[in-house]
Structures are given as structure tokens and as C-alpha cells.
Structure 1
Amino acid sequence: MTIRRILVIKLGALGDFVQAMGPFSAIRAHHPGAHITLLTTKPFADLALACPWFDQVRLDDKPKPWQLPSMLRLRAMLRDGRFDRVYDLQTSDRSSSYFRLLGKAVEWSGIAPGCSHPHANPRRDAMHTIERQREQLAVIGITEVPPPDLSWVKSDISRYGLSHPFALICSGGAAHRPAKRWPSERFAALCAWLAERQVQPVLLGTEKEADEIKAIRALCPDAADLAGRTSTLDIVALARDALAAVGNDTGPMHLIAMGGCPSVVLFSHDSDPALCAPRGKVTVLRRPCLADLDAAEVEAALSRMIEP
């Protein structure tokens, strides 16, 4: 069977999206002449559209099962694609349910019951995302999966007017998982430590984290505030120029690490670095409770990266 039309499903979150870029590249290399559509969600639209591997990007509004008109529109969108093969890299209950929505004998790589190429390893959930997806693709015949690569990203960051050298600071994270955040006063102390060494701290985050970033800047006025002002592409470009980065286990740290920036990533027991840590020049520091992680230990890890 000639595979002409392909659907790749990756709905989120940001760190998982970044770690799927190796598989994205492998799928394109395996099907150089196919029309490949990515199904993702609105927060990742700009990044998805910039990716070099897709002919089309479609957005999933993730309707609830009882939202019948929206579900019917989603089903129509999936069926109108006339896909020969689907690579479900989300492998969630939601994405697996789309196997039934397609309503035809499409080749399917994932974990949907009854699919043609199931990733049936009973220990798949104990694997790091990158190894898990590599094994999933091997089942369907894609044996060469490169590491995630962001070298294609282009963005002009000169408009920020940053002083060199600078270090990126990601103090935020998912609002519904506060245990994944190092206390803001520790980030402020770290920023002051950097400023004393003539390294400008650059605070990244969303507008929702503006108050926390404002509190850090109150204690360290030398820090630059880019909250709500950076796209995903900007973050990668900033990572290329940065001396180093420190942050919680959050999506932007995956972009920064994949951008080649030496990074210290902070984990609590709310997430497991063995399953999801960023790859690259990364030092992981973990405590059951991040409030128990001293600024001095983070400074020491950072020193090993930035001082000769």
C-alpha cells in the first residue's frame, strides 16, 4: 500500500511537543513524498506552522463528548483528510478515541484498541518520552529517529536589547501544579547572585506569571522582564545566545535545553525526570519539596556551567 496522506497527532503539552520533534523529522524522512498533516492545539499553532515537516496544520478544539456539533465537526475534519496512516504521538484516551471517529480501516500507530500497529509494551509508561516514541515508531517500521533538532528556528531577538552575557530564568509553571515551582524568593536570590557576577538575569513567563515575576524584580531590579513578550521561537533564539538557564520543570525549559543552552532544571516529586526531563546540556536537581532546595545548591550547579 502506498502511503500518500498521513495524520500526525500531537496535542500538547509544550515539553512533549518539543520532544516529539525527533519523531516528526523521522516520519517526514520515511515518507518524503506524502502529504503530512499535524493535528495539534491552539497554544502550539505558531510553533507547528514553523516546523519544516508538515504540509498542513489543523487545530483540535478538544470538544467534550456531549458537545455534539463540535464532535461532528471534528469527525468531519478527520474523515475529510482521507488519511492512509495515522501516527498518534499523543497516545492519550482522547487521541485514541479518534481511531473510532475516523470510521475506516486506516493504518494506526498508537495505543488505540484494535489499531493496526499498537505500541503494546506493558512498560511503555515507565519509559522516557523520547525512548517511548522511538520504540513506538520502530513497531511500524521507522527505525531511525534523530534527536529533537531546533536548528531550523529563526527569530530576531535584538528588539529585547539584552546585555551580554545573560541567563534565562523560568520561575513559572502550570498553575494547577504548584508543587513543581521553586519559591520565587529563591529565584530572586539567584538573580541577585547572577547580577553580582555581571550576568543579566532574563525572566521568561506568561502574562499569568506577571505578579510572580514582578516580585522577583522587586528584589532584583537588574533582572529583565520578558513575561508575556516571547513566542516559542523567540525562546529558542534566546537560548542560543544565553550563557545558561535555570527553571522549573516546565515547557520553556525543554525549548531552552533543545536550543543548546546549558540548563539547570528543578524537579520536585510531583514529576519524574526519568520520564520527562529535558535532554541536552542539562543538570537536574530534585527534592521531594522544592522549598527544601537551597539557592546555594542551584548557584553551585550553575557555577559549574558558566565559570571556567
Structure 2
Amino acid sequence: MSPVNPGASAKEVLIIKLSALGDFVLSLGAMKAVRETHPSARITLLTTPFFEEFGKLCPYVDRVETDGRPEGMKATAALIQRIRKADYDIIYDFQTSGRTKNYFTALSRSGKAPLWSGHHEKAAFFHDNAERGRMHSIDRLAEQLEVAGVPPEGRWLGTSAPFPDLSWVRHKLGDTPRLQPAYFSLEEPYMLLIPGASAHREAKRWPEENYAELASRVADAGIQPVIIGGKAEGPLAHEIVRREPRAKSLVTRTDLFQIVTLAEKALFVVGNDTGPMHMATLAGAPGIALFALTESNPDHAAPRGPKQPVIINSAPTLKELSVDDVWQSVRALGLLPA
């Protein structure tokens, strides 16, 4: 007998999503679909400490547990025991990593295996697609949900893809001063520069001198260039501002919620293949994403946005991508002052 999704009768549901930032925000549409499928359930998100605050405000989950990556056998055993004791009606593994597959294996060793949606051959809802690793995260999650019996209706633009929606951020937090551009002494129009990427993958970083030249052209057009990122982007931002003093650095000054609300009012955003770039375009900023083809395939990892398609600029490595190429894409957005 084929397994059946408990749907509206479910009382306890678990979603597993541990990281990384881009993948996490891309999974928000799938989390919303789970919420709609189980309207009366208490939905728990198993994640990592970085996403605790964001998860607690997310309207698709009711509680957050942050020990999704326990250290050591004792902590792992405690996590497995807690999940088993919770007796979830269904578990959605949106991480689908070797670690989370091992969680299912451990849960299945004694007693009845939980009703599980993920990439495990013994799962009730096994997403058995050899091409899943080459699918865009949104499309892969859509297919995983369909295998699990989550109905596709009501999704973005009439497709089956569970498109992430970040409009809840401002609604949940209220339109407070810290969510306004003026909090950072910004006036519109402004745009966002996102120069960060994995430090160990240099090919994915567009050179800071190119960002500085782009910032100069943007500032000449009467638009404030604003740099966002974390601590690792500090040296990059410092060099960009040194070369182009009209650029403003907000590096380390924005939390995840402020990235969303700044992007909502930004004229456009230009950035590397990195998590904040996904957040900015999902929040509604028209975007230009820079991809190193030797490192990642935009067909599988390109940011998406609700307003218009994101323009992709690519080269084998980002050092080979010229400022003129990116500037041409900026002009193609049709947003520059006449």
C-alpha cells in the first residue's frame, strides 16, 4: 500500500533545513507549501543557530530547534532520540545531505520508520531523481513536494515551483525605523553591491577594482552605491570605498531582516553568487548576478525574483568579466535616470 501524506490531519510536522543562506531562503517557498498542507499542525524547524532568529519570526513554522548539526556521538544520539520521541506525523528533509540521510537511517533502526520526504531510498516519499543534484533548488524542492503528495496549486505564476516570499519580514517586524533606508543615512535612489563569496573560491569573486569602477559609474548616474556583506567582506568594502569614496559600506551593519527591507527599496542589486544576492532578488530588487562558470552553473543556482528575471553575467572566472559587460546589463534594466 502506497504511503499517504497526512495533510490537514497532521498534528506534528518537522522540517529539516540546516544551511546555507542562499539554500535556506530558497526553501522558504517549500516551507510555505508545507504550512498550507498542514494548517493545524505544529511545525518545527530543525536548523542551526545562525537561522534561529529568522526562523522564529518566519510565519511558516511554530518553533525552532538549532541543534541540527550536533557535535559528537552523544549529542547526535540525543537529537535522534528527541525526534523519535516527538513522533512526527511527517518529516520533510529539505537539506537532503549525507548527514540528514543518516538521521533517517538512525530513526529507522528501532521501531517503525518515520514518514519521511527526502532523498533516502527507504523513505516513504523518496525523491528518486538522478538529476536532482543538477536542478535549481526551487525546482528540486517542488518535485520533492509533489512526490510527498503536497498539492501544487496556488504556487507562483501558476507553476508548481514553491516560490519564496519575503514580504512577511516587514509585516512581522512592523515598519520600524531600523528597517528604513534612513536608519543607515540612505536616501533613494540607491543600489546594492554584494561583493562577497566563498573565500576559498576566488574565481567566484568579481575583483574589487571592478566593483569600484561600477560604483563610480552608478554614482555618476546619481544613484548611491551601497555595499553589504559580513565580516569577511570588510577588506573588499574598504578597498571599494578607497577607490570610490561615494560608495557607502554597510558591511557587518545589516542583519538578515535589514537585507530584505533594504533590497525592497533598492533600485537594483549587483552581486556574486552568494546568499545575500538570493535574499535581495527574492525581496524584489531587480538583479544582475555574476557567475563564474568554472565554479557554478546559473541554470542550477541563479537568483530568482518576483518582479522580473535576474540578468546573468557569466565568464569562466569572474576576473574575465569586464565592467563594460556588467554596465551594459545595468543599462538593460531600464532603471537609470534619463
Q: TM-score range by the shorter chain?
A: over 0.9
Q: After superposition, where does 1:211-222 map in structure 2 within 5 Å?
A: 211-222=235-246
Which of residues 185, 201, 206 is equivalent to 1:161?
Answer: 185
CA distance in 2, matches of 1:261, 1:275: 20
Q: Any gaps of 5 or more consecutive residues in structure 1?
A: none
1:179/1:290 contact within 8 Å kept: yes
3-state SS of the aligned residue for 1:153? Answer: helix
Partner of 1:124: 132
2:98 aligns with one of 74, 93, 97? 93
Structure 1 position 215, deviation (Å)? 0.7
Task: Give yes or no for the alignment of 1:110 onto 2:118.
Answer: yes
Give the 5 Å matches for 1:224-263.
224-263=248-287
CA distance in structure 1 between the partners assigned to 2:186 and 2:312 by the alignment: 27
> Contact 1:173–1:248 (CA<8 Å) still a contact in 2?
yes
Partner of 1:292: 320
**For structure 1, which segment, 96-105 or 190-199, has the greater mean C-alpha deviation from structure 2 after superposition?**
96-105
Partner Cα distance (2:255, 2:97) in 1: 27
- Structure 1 runs (4+) greater than 4 angstroms displaced: none
Q: Do residues 39 (structure 1) and 46 (structure 2) align?
A: yes
Structure 1 range deviating more: 142-151 or 267-276: 142-151
Shift of 1:164: 1.4
Mapping of residues 51-62 of structure 1, within 5 Å = 51-60=58-67, 62=69
Q: 1:94 corresponds to which letter in structure 2?
A: R
Is 1:204 matched up with 2:209?
no
Displacement of 1:278: 0.9
Matched, 1:63 2:70: yes
* Deviation readout 1:120-165 (Å, 9 max, x if unpaired): 1222222211111101111111122442111111262331110211
Report the Cα offset of residue 100 of structure 1. Answer: 2.4
Match of 2:88 among 74, 78, 83: 83
Matched residue, 1:17: 24
The answer for the alignment partner of 2:168 in structure 1 is 152
Counterpart CA distance in 2 for 1:21 and 1:302 is 28
Give the SS at the match of 1:243.
Answer: coil
Partner residue of 2:205 out of 181, 196, 201:
181
Q: Is the 8 A contact 2:121 2:128 kept in 1?
A: no
In the TM superposition, residue 73 of structure 1 has moved relative to its aligned partner by: 2.5
Q: 2:136·2:301 contact (CA, 8 Å) conserved in 1? A: yes
Tell me by how many angstroms 1:61 deviates.
5.2
CA shift digits 1:174-198 (9 cap, x unpaired): 2122211101110011111111111
Q: Which residue of 2 aligns with 1:190?
A: 214
- Cα deviation for residue 113 of structure 1 reads 3.2
Q: Which residue of 1 aligns with 2:329?
A: 301
Deviates most, 170-179 or 32-41: 170-179
Q: Could you say what secondary structure the match of 2:192 adopts?
A: strand
Aligned twin of 1:170 = 194
Q: Distance in 1 between matches of 2:209 and 2:136?
A: 32
Q: 2 CA distance for matches of 1:38 and 1:56?
A: 6
- Following superposition, the deviation at residue 62 of structure 1 comes to 1.5
Inter-partner Cα distance in structure 2 for 1:177 and 1:83: 39
Instruction: Using the TM superposition, give the Cα deviation of residue 60 of structure 1 relative to its aligned residue in structure 2, in angstroms.
Output: 2.4
Instruction: Report the equivalent of 2:297.
Output: 272
C-alpha deviation, 1:211, in angstroms = 1.1
Which amino acid in 1 is paired with 2:320?
Answer: D
- Aligned length in residues: 306
Distance in 2 separating the partners of 1:57 and 1:141: 24
Provide the aligned C-alpha RMSD in A. Answer: 1.4
Counterpart-to-counterpart distance in 1, 2:121 and 2:11: 24
TM-score for both structures, normalised by structure 2: 0.87
Aligned mates of 2:330, 2:27 — CA distance in 1: 28
Q: Distance in 1 between matches of 2:210 and 2:268?
A: 17
Question: Does the alignment pair 1:30 with 2:37?
Answer: yes
Name the counterpart of 2:79. 74
